[in-house]
Structure 1
Amino acid sequence: MSDLKAPGANWRLVAARVERGWLTQEDFVSAYEASAVSLRSQARISVRQVRRWESGQSKWPNRDARLVLKEMFGVPLEQLGFVPLGSAAGRRGVPADVKPFLEDTVLRRAFMGGALAAVAAPLLDLAALDHLTAASRDAHRYADHELVGHLGDALEATARADTLAGPHRAMPAALGILSAIDSTARDAKPHVRRELLGLGSRAAEFAGWLHRDAGSPEQAIGYWHGLAKEWATFTGDGAMHAYVLMRQAQALGRSDPVRMLDLARAATSGPWTLPPRPRAEALQQEARGMAMTGADTDEIRRVLDLAHAALDQASGPAAPVACTGPLGDSYTRERLMAQTGICLREAGRPAEAAAVFKSYVTREAFMPRDYAHYRAFLAGALAEAGEPDEAAVVALGVVEIASAARSGQALGELNRSARALFPYRERPAVGELHERLLLPSTR
């Protein structure tokens, strides 16, 4: 790598920032300013300055900034990828310790083990990190199909981490992958840029999902959905654009039923063709929007029938959940039926909804987090159907699963169910549920 002359991205600083929980450059600025205040320093920075540091354009911070950065990270600035002025490395524009940089604990934890410690599946080995570092310095030369493959593998490993350990464990790695895609795609050759942006669209949609499940603000979720659609548009991937529209509809929850319905209908009727499985999911989402906006029950069932017909067209069994595989290929009949239960509940038919949930939401059919999510909906349906004791028992049965994964969606639905049970708060199981969820109770 000694022939790489141009400065490149400062991956050390990006990795150290993400590892410490400052997932965006705005988060980093806020943390920096808090540290400056604690040091009684007047040093202030902007997002633009952080961008300069992370892009490698700014080699060595000024004196005040150095003091704040040492306070924030607790390591010498050289370990954050900064190069002292006047050093040989600084004159060459290349870090003096490229190989140690690749082996650096902070970097490897942020891009590999740190985000995936629970599953012990490294995202990138040293050869892949070497390739990524070379591409960050000369994307036109080193951003190639092999790099796309490395990043795709990393994204799949991150998705597995989310499935097993929840969004907070997967998010740092996902954002690191997106940062790598964004920086290398800018100067990559056109055919490689197209591949990178195609992968980036998948990764950005996944980041939107992670933010949604972590309970992030709507604007954060919307940012990643917007980027996913933008990159899908650049690559001419109409199906991916439609899929993100459907994901946007899902992310609205119960906050804006009319917009949910509009987004779901756009996904199924726009100038694109969704594959059978994601089309079935989008039609189901349309049915839910119809239920929430007061549509006739027969019309809701008609759209649900279309969803089942779309799923019938899918060839072969559903595939494992994947970020880079065939679009939406993990959508199953059991998931469609569970979401049908949600539609029935929204349509004011909680007893029918509860029956559907009981029949199709099983531990065999769903991963633990999704099982907890749909069982929380069952608890709400039972509460609305006048079965408070059973509802509380069901909810208590999944509190630990949802809490362990820190799933905002499952916990949010559990809290909604608990609020529906408030009139029955004197019953033992309901009181215990309120205590477990730290909700008001008479007990």
Structure 2
Amino acid sequence: MEGIGALGKRMREAGFTQVELADAINTHLRADGHEGTVSDRTVRNWLTGETRWPHERQRAALEAVFNCPVTELGFIPRRVSLPHAPPEDSVHRRRFIATSAAAALAATNTPVFASQKRFGMSDVERLQTKFAALIATDFRYGGRRTIETQAVELAEEALTIQNHGTATQRVRGALYGCAASFTSSAMWAAIDGRRFDAAQRHFHRASSLAAMSNDSTIQFRIWSHAGSLYRHMNRPADALAANDVARSLPITRRDSMFACLGHARQAAIHGMTNDSHAVQQTLGHAQDAFERADTTELRPVWMTAVCDRAELETLALSAHLSLGDFEKSEAHAHRSLSLLRPAMQRDRGIVTARLALAQLGQGELESAVNSAVSIPGDIARHPRVGILLREFGELLHVAAPSSQPARSWDEHAGESQKGIS
């Protein structure tokens, strides 16, 4: 069964199904002026070994598709007896082919089957492994220029593969999806770092790549990030419009977890417009969608940070804090902190800073300062956390400028918050 394994392995690497390989073979046959008669059953016969030596035209097409001799695909030539005196035209034909091949090799000095590399799903998986490591760094710190730069480099690597090799339509779509996903991560890193001009450039690039991938999953991420971008830029109308695009994509109907995230982010935007009814309504939709979602379903690596109840609580906290409902904000903050995974250090810092603001809004000065000073120094220097803490310090001095909690905060800020920008 060596032949079966060799062809099957090459098909898996290239991302071919039996039908797709048959289509690719027929395309080559028709390009050479022949009728394309290969079917998925033909391919199945090759895989099972029922057909051990395809027709000459099919062999040529197989070599063109996989860029290697058919013997490397496991096919075994038939043993045939050559006549003692082949016809003169056959002799001339073989001499012409041999001479032409030798001349071509001499001119190019390149192996016959090494002219162009075929890329497959294994290359996509290699890129996704690099992406997973980048996402893990983003979960912990976020916003760093190094994350943004590395994400852009990964996107360029995916596009370079497109331009320097051949692949099936499915693999090409996956590579465009990778490039879009990586660019979306660069966009998020720029949003997180408050580099909004760069974030908008990444958004336009990512949305174009996502359209070429025809993957509504990554399109959801990009448009949902656009909603977050405009929310941070204090442009709620644009934020609502962008998030509506995300919520209308097919993935939200196929997977309730995406619907949950879309509704919860919409609630955070409604909080900015002081629409308490819309906040309650969209949070209710988010809760219903979360309860319908299959939490064990396999999803993209970037969804692992947001497909849990902690994210729902965090967005509810943001919405109620914008509304000035400090009691509900504090309750959501405590629930979020109890649910956040240990690696989510950046998110923990943001939630704790918002908790301090919610406690301050209720007049609980000492608890508020205790919450604020509990944020580790490296996390306090994160741009988004730093902005929240500066807001906290300003509000604290308005509420109780000469109080002991205010003096304690000033002392802490002077010692450990240097360098926040």
Q: Same fold (TM over 0.5)?
A: yes
Deviation of residue 378 (structure 1)? 0.9
CA contact (8 A) 2:340 2:348 kept: no
Q: CA deviation digits over 1:357-397, x for unaligned, max 9?
A: 12332375452221111111111122222222221211111
When Rg is computed on C-alpha atoms for both structures, the one with the higher figure is 2
Q: Measure, in 2, the Cα distance between the counterparts of 1:318 and 1:334.
A: 18
Q: 3-state DSSP class of the match of 2:161?
A: helix
In the alignment, the residues of structure 2 paired with residue 198 and residue 384 of structure 1 have an alpha-carbon distance, to the nearest angstrom, of: 44
2:295 corresponding residue in structure 1: 316
8 Å contact from structure 2 (residues 141, 346) kept in 1: no
Is residue 212 from structure 1 mapped to residue 188 from structure 2 by the alignment? no
Amino acid at match of 1:173: Q
1:171 Cα offset (Å): 3.6
Unaligned runs of 5+ in 2: 1-113
Determine the C-alpha separation between the residues in 1 that align with 2:140 and 2:117: 37
> Equivalent pairs: percent with the same residue?
17
The letter of the residue matching 1:337 is: E
Contact 1:319 1:329 in 2 (8 A): no
Instruction: Please name the residue that 2:131 is paired with.
Output: 155
- Tell me how far 1:314 sits from its aligned partner: 1.3
Match of 1:411 among 383, 386, 406: 386
1:353-392 counterparts in 2 under 5 A?
A: 353-362=329-338, 365=341, 367-392=344-369
Q: Which residues of 2 match residues 78-89 of structure 1 at below 5 A?
A: none
1:223 to 201, 222, 234: 201
The 1:159/1:359 distance shift into structure 2, 3 A limit, reads closer
- Residue 155 of structure 2 is matched in structure 1 by 178
Name the CA distance, whole Å, in 1 between partners of 2:305 and 2:297.
Answer: 6
> Do the aligned partners of residues 223 and 258 (structure 1) sit closer, same or farther apart at CA in structure 2, a change above 3 Å counting?
same
SS in 1 for 2:205: helix
Distance in 2 between the 1:420 and 1:320 partners?
41
2:70 equivalent in structure 1? none
> Paired residue for 2:214?
236
Note closer, same or farther for the CA distance 1:139–1:308 as it changes in structure 2 (3 Å cut): farther
- Output the amino acid matched with 2:338: T
Contact 1:277/1:329 (<8 A) preserved: no
| Equivalence map 1:13-52=2 (5 Å) | none
Q: CA deviation at 1:322?
A: 1.9
Instruction: Tell me by how many angstroms 1:234 deviates.
Output: 0.8
Secondary structure of the residue aligned to 1:195 is helix
Equivalent position SS for 2:232: coil
**Is structure 2 residue 286 aligned with structure 1 residue 281?**
no
1:263 aligned onto 2:242: yes
Tell me how far apart the structure 1 counterparts of residues 239 and 360 of structure 2 sit (CA, whole Å): 25
The verdict on how the C-alpha distance between 1:321 and 1:271 changes in structure 2, with shifts beyond 3 A counting, is closer
Tell me, in whole angstroms, the C-alpha distance in 1 between the residues paired with 2:390 and 2:256.
Answer: 34
Give the corresponding residue for 2:166.
189
Q: Are residues 320 and 369 of structure 1, via their aligned partners in 2, closer, same or farther at CA, if it must alter by over 3 Å?
A: farther
C-alpha distance in structure 2 between counterparts of 1:139 and 1:212, whole Å: 42
Under a length normalisation based on structure 1, what TM-score does the superposition of the two structures give? 0.60
Q: 1:267 to 1:321 in 2, by over 3 A?
A: closer
Q: 2:327 aligns with which of 336, 351, 367?
A: 351
The answer (yes or no) to whether the contact 1:148–1:196 under 8 Å persists in 2 is yes
Distance 2:162 2:178 in 1: 11
What is the CA deviation profile of residues 73-132 of structure 1, one whole-angstrom value per residue up to 9, with x for unaligned ones? Answer: xxxxxxxxxxxxxxxxxxxxxxxxxxxxxxxxxxxxxxxxxxxxxxxxxxxxxxxxxxxx
Contact 1:353 1:381 in 2 (8 A): yes
Describe the shift of the 1:303–1:207 C-alpha distance in structure 2 as closer, same or farther (beyond 3 A). same
Question: How far did residue 435 of structure 1 move?
Answer: 4.6
- Deviation string for 1:239-271 (max 9, x for gaps)? 322331111111232611222222222321356
Closer, same or farther: CA 139–236 of 1 in aligned 2, 3 Å = farther
Aligned length: 296
1: CA distance, partners of 2:233 / 2:338: 25
Q: Distance between the aligned counterparts of 2:166 and 2:267, measured in 1? A: 43
Which residue number corresponds to residue 337 of structure 1?
A: 313
Residues 1:422 and 2:397 aligned together? yes
How far, CA to CA, are the matches of 1:211 and 1:181 in structure 2? 20
- What runs of 5+ residues in structure 1 fail to find an aligned partner? 1-137
- The 3 A distance-change label for structure 1 pair 286 and 166 is closer
8 Å CA contact 2:309, 2:339 repeated in 1? no
Distance in structure 2 (CA, Å) of the matches to 1:139 and 1:197: 23
Structure showing the higher helix proportion among its residues: 2
Question: In the alignment, which of 122, 139, 148 is matched to residue 146 of structure 1?
Answer: 122
1 CA distance for matches of 2:115 and 2:338? 47
Separation in structure 2 between the aligned mates of residue 319 and residue 292 of structure 1, nearest angstrom: 33
Amino acid paired to 1:381: A
Counterpart Cα distance in 2 of 1:319 and 1:435: 47
Residue 224 and residue 314 in structure 1: after superposition, are their counterparts in 2 closer, same or farther (change >3 A)?
same
The one of 294, 298, 301 equivalent to 2:280 is 301
Q: Hey, what's the Cα distance between the residues in 2 that align with 1:167 and 1:200? A: 19
Call closer, same or farther: CA 1:187–1:312 in 2, change over 3 Å.
Answer: same
1:145–1:270 Cα change, 3 Å: closer
Q: Distance in 2 between matches of 1:233 and 1:257?
A: 25
What TM-score, normalized by structure 2, do the two folds share?
Answer: 0.63
Residues 1:225 and 1:140: Cα distance change in structure 2 (over 3 Å)? farther
- For 1:355 and 1:388, the matched residues in 2 are separated by 17
Q: In the TM superposition, what is the alpha-carbon distance from 1:307 to its structure 2 partner?
A: 0.5
2:56 matched to which residue of 1?
none
Q: Structure 1 counterpart of 2:403, which letter? A: R
**Gap change, CA 1:319 and 1:407, over 3 Å in 2:** farther
Q: How far 1:399 moved relative to its partner?
A: 4.2
- The answer to whether the 8 A contact 1:321-1:329 is kept is no
Give the CA deviation at 1:187. Answer: 4.1
Alpha carbons 1:345, 1:381 under 8 Å: kept: yes
